[in-house]
Amino acid sequence: MKILEVDKTQPFVNNHNIDARRIYDYNHAQIIHMTLHPGESLKPHTTPVDVAFYILEGSGLVEIGDENVPVNSSTCIESPKDIPHRLINNTDKPFKFLVIKMPK
């Protein structure tokens, strides 16, 4: 059994310059824990695989294609491959979420 504590995992350097930590990374899937501090956002980008975002804590905005929707904790959002997307923290509290990449 492998147990990983997010707070004891080192952040990795990423194009978004935010706190991102790999917590699961195998051939069939990858899970990344991300924290957006107040005012931070991901840069708009696409992925070659489908992605799901699971909101752990806080609230913010999710942009996928032309849609821009407010989200709160305990919410899961599907993001199809090859569609531009990003998450935005437009609040004064941390916005924590999981990015789940699912190649098929």
3-state class (DSSP) for residue 53: strand
**Predicted pLDDT of residue 28:** 87
* 73-86 as b/e: b if 16+ CB within 10 A: eeeebebeeeeebb
How many folded domains does the chain comprise?
A: 1
Domain that holds residue 65: 15-102
In a domain, 5, yes or no: no
Residue 45: DSSP 8-state: B
In a domain, 3, yes or no: no
**What's 76's domain CATH number?**
2.60.120.10
At 80, the pLDDT band (50, 70, 90 cuts) reads: very high
**Predicted pLDDT of residue 104:** 55
**The model scores a pTM over 0.75:** yes
Amino acid at 12: F
Query: Which strands make up the sheet holding 29-36, listed edge to edge?
Result: 19-26, 29-36, 95-102, 50-57, 75-79
In a domain, 4, yes or no: no
